[in-house]
Amino acid sequence: MKIRFSALLTALLCLVACGSPLRAQNANSITTSNGPAAGNGTFEIKAINVSTPNTPEFTTVAGETQTKRYTLGKWIEIEAEFASSARAAEVEFKFFVVLGGQMLTGDETLVDVPAGQSLFTVMYVAPRTISTLLKGQPLNTGSITNVAVQILRQGINTPVAIRLLKPAPAPFYNTLQQVPGLVLIKPNTPFANLWWDRYEQVRPPGAR
């Protein structure tokens, strides 16, 4: 009997020592995988917030004074809050948005990212894209099936941090066909000049 107990105890200890590593679960039971990115520390995506703002309006004193009629469009805004344990020269993000049965994607590179626990970045889906996919139906947050945000290992398309907006039984971003380029960086939208000090700096397209 003692021999059997000893063998069982040894087997249990082996399982603990040799088993696969645990991965943290966030508050929504979505797996968050964290790890180093190009030697620049550990990253964590802490939250995803989705809203549907209207196109911002600006007034001018000089220049065009003619009044023109138009209807303000409605955008999808996806804001990601993240943390970094050390300063990083560059941090690569990828956004996935499932809308109207299509998975839209967009990539961005943040530059000169400091260490911090409450860092933010944001990307957008334009009104014309939304209208096409929803076939004219009104947009609300319920129109968005799911959102995922990844932080990628620099230079390698490997996620080091992932977060989903809603729980999902399978990683949809690996199973649905991607439609790239329709999730836009902030500098390519009318929101470019807003909330300048809230968001980390985005490397302009084509810049090195």
| CATH number, domain containing residue 170 | 2.60.40.10
The residue whose two tokens read 């609300």 is 140
- 123 lies in some domain: yes
Does residue 50 fall inside a structural domain? yes
Q: Is residue 104 part of a domain?
A: yes
Q: Indicate the pTM of the whole model.
A: 0.78
Angstrom distance (rounded) from CA 200 to CA 122: 9
Contact call for residues 185 and 108 (beta carbons, < 8 A): yes
Euclidean distance between CA atoms 87 and 92, whole angstroms: 14
Residue 141 lies in a domain: yes
Rounded Cα gap, residues 116 and 18, in angstroms:
33
Q: How far apart are CA 6 and CA 50, in angstroms?
A: 54
Is 137 inside a domain boundary? yes
Instruction: State the average pLDDT over residues 20-40.
Output: 34
Q: Which domain holds residue 117?
A: 23-56+72-188
**CA-closest candidate to residue 121, choices 163, 80, 90:** 80
DSSP category for residue 31: B
160/130 Cα distance (integer angstroms): 30
- Whether residue 13 lies inside any domain: the answer is no
In this structure, is residue 10 part of a structural domain? no
- Kindly indicate the confidence band of residue 14, based on its pLDDT and cuts at 50, 70 and 90: very low
The pLDDT score that the predictor gives to residue 112 is 95
126-130, 156-160, 175-179: segment of lowest average pLDDT = 156-160
User: In this predicted structure, what is the pLDDT of residue 4?
Assistant: 44
User: What's the structural domain count of the chain?
Assistant: 1
The answer to whether 45 touches 161, Cβ cutoff 8 Å, is yes
Q: pLDDT tens digit string along 36-55?
A: 333 346 899 999 999 999 99
Tell me the mean pLDDT in the region 104-108. Answer: 97
Q: Does residue 128 lie within any of the structural domains?
A: yes
User: So what's the pLDDT on residue 65?
Assistant: 67
